[in-house]
Amino acid sequence: MNSTLNKFSIAPMLDLTDKHCRYFHRILTKQTLLYTEMVTTGAILFGKGDYLEFNSQEHPVCLQLGGSDPKALAKCAKLAEQRGYDEINLNVGCPSDRVQNGMFGACLMAKPKLVADCVAAMQAQVDIPVSVKTRIGIDELDSYGFLCQFIEQVSSYTNTFIVHARKAWLSGLSPKENREVPPLDYERVYQLKRDYPHLTIAINGGIKTIDEIKQHLNYVDGVMIGREAYQNPLLLTQIDSQIFGLQTPIIDAKSAILALYPYIEKQLLQGAQLNHIMRHTLGIFNGRKGAKQWRRYLSENAHKKGAGLEIVEQALTFIQ
């Protein structure tokens, strides 16, 4: 039931953490737990297309599910385990209207028994860990007592929680505003760990540097970062040595792009478009001379029909 994988993880981000993104991030860090975008049970069970696809090099990788029907979640969890995922995570944190209309995401915080039933149903079907990603509260339900009631009910079936240290406003704020407007309350997440020391608690929200990650790890079991990992991916090259204590060589930005070449060639042969792969790499040279030209050249050319590795090679010539 326990998860040992989430000392450091990269958050599930809609339209960002797809298989190309995860493959690139895995080049930068071998130990980090990678998350899929949130995938709804409906998409997996009834959608056209393979919503469970991932590359074998991505391990350890966690599938984040969105849904509130225990039977559908259990079925999807089983399919994910069969496909080789290392962990399942239930989304109880996303505040978007689309999510609420489907009765999943942050609105589920108000229904802890249903969340517990969902987790129990998944646990009954799989041997891999099932975790829950949540907020510290929703709307007016934002007391510490409310959070504890939620955790106590759900922790009967999982001992691993990733807690975004902001509450969510279910109306009036966009998903982007919900990541920025409600104030961060790290202390509340620390208190959760102190009051429930037997649980695995990871913290998420507004974390940007290695020093901040280390600071949080003094109080909780794990740290998850999202936008910063995506916008400044070079940060990830420090994780294995600084956070996991490994003596592995740190890959530099240029080598990381070169290491992506075989993957790019393979994906292009399978019909992928270059820009769908390279958009995840745009921030790798941030702060370096030529970074702006690198981004511009890829943005202007990678989407063109037939664009291949020659576009990447040309873009690299701008980097000094």
State the catalytic residues. Answer: 94
Q: What does the block give as tokens for 164?
A: 């975004």
Alpha carbon distances (Å) from 167 to 92, 121, 188, 257: 11, 27, 11, 37
**Pairing, β 8-10 against β 222-225:** parallel
CA nearest neighbour of 267 among 251, 252, 280: 280
Alpha carbon distances (Å) from 76 to 7, 33, 42, 146: 25, 20, 9, 29
Alpha carbon distances (Å) from 114 to 93, 108, 188: 15, 8, 24
Instruction: Find how far residue 272's CA is from the centre of its chain.
Output: 22
What is the DSSP secondary structure assignment for residue 105, as one 8-state letter?
A: S
Contact in structure between 198 and 5 (CB atoms under 8 Å): no
d(CA 135, CA 192): 12
For the chain, the first-to-last Cα distance in angstroms comes to: 48
User: Tokens 């003094």 correspond to what residue?
Assistant: 218
304: which residues sit within 8 A by CB, 6+ positions away? Answer: 311
